[in-house]
Amino acid sequence: MKLYICLLMLMNTCFNYAFKKHELPYSIVVAKADLIVDGTISKVSKNEYEFTISQFVKGKSGLKIKVSIWKEWICDPRIKALKTGQRLILFLEKTPYGNFSTINGSTGEIYVDNDSFINIFLPKEFTNPKILKEGISMFLQTYTVYGDLNDRFLQNIYFQSNKSIFEIYKMKEDNMAFNFLGGKDVSYVEVKYNLIPQFII
C-alpha cells in the first residue's frame, strides 16, 4: 500500500497535476512594468544577461541593461535557451540592485524569431511584434491603473479610461493586441470609463 501511495505522489509531481503557474493578465503586466523594450541579448552569464535595446515601448534607460535570469520550474519552463543575438520583447521591473527582472517569469520574456512569436501559449491576438508594441502603446495612452499591483489576488484594482467607449471600440477594431489588453484580459478587474464631455474654450 505504501508503495502505491509513493508511486502516486511521484506521478503527481512528474506529470504536473498539482502545480500551476500563477498567471498575471497582460494588462497588469503592462501596468506593472517599469520598462517594456524590444532588443537582443548581447551577452549571457550565469545569473543575468546583457540586453541591447533597439526600441523603448514604455519607460527609458540606457541602451544596454542587465536582466536577471528567472529561475525555471515545472510550470514555467523557458521556451528556448538564452543565447547571444536572440531577439526578445521584455516586460521588466527594476530591482534594488540596479538591474532588471522580468515580470511573472516567462510572461515577461517573449521570444521573437523572423519577426514572429514562437511561444504557442501567447494570446493569439499578439500576432506579431509590430501589432503588439502598437497595442501596448495604445493601451498606455488610453488607460490609467489604480490600486496595488503587487497584490497577488489583484483586489481593488481598476482601469480608468481617458477616451469614450466609441473611441475605444474603434481602437479595438484597429489593433488586435489593444483589443485583448483592454478586453477579456481585464475581465476580472473593474474597467471604468471617463465619459465626462470635454469642452473646448
Give pLDDT tens digits along the chain (201 positions).
665 554 555 555 555 444 566 788 999 999 999 999 999 999 999 999 999 999 999 999 999 999 999 988 788 888 889 999 999 999 999 999 989 999 999 999 999 999 999 988 899 999 999 999 999 999 999 999 988 888 878 888 888 889 998 999 999 999 999 999 987 544 334 455 444 444 434
What is the predicted pLDDT for the residue at 111? 96
- Cα distances (angstroms) measured from residue 35 to each of 23, 79, 169, 193: 19, 21, 27, 26
Cβ atoms within 10 Å, residue 51 = 23
Q: Residue 168: what are its φ and ψ, rounded to 5°?
A: -65, -40
What is the predicted pLDDT for the residue at 40? 98
CB 88 within 8 Å of CB 44: no
Residues 6+ apart with CB under 8 A from 60: 35
What is the predicted pLDDT for the residue at 9? 54
Cβ atoms within 10 Å, residue 83 = 9
What is the predicted pLDDT for the residue at 195? 43
- Cα distances (angstroms) measured from residue 129 to each of 45, 58, 69, 136, 152: 26, 14, 22, 10, 28
Cell of 110: 517573449
CA distance 111 to 131: 15
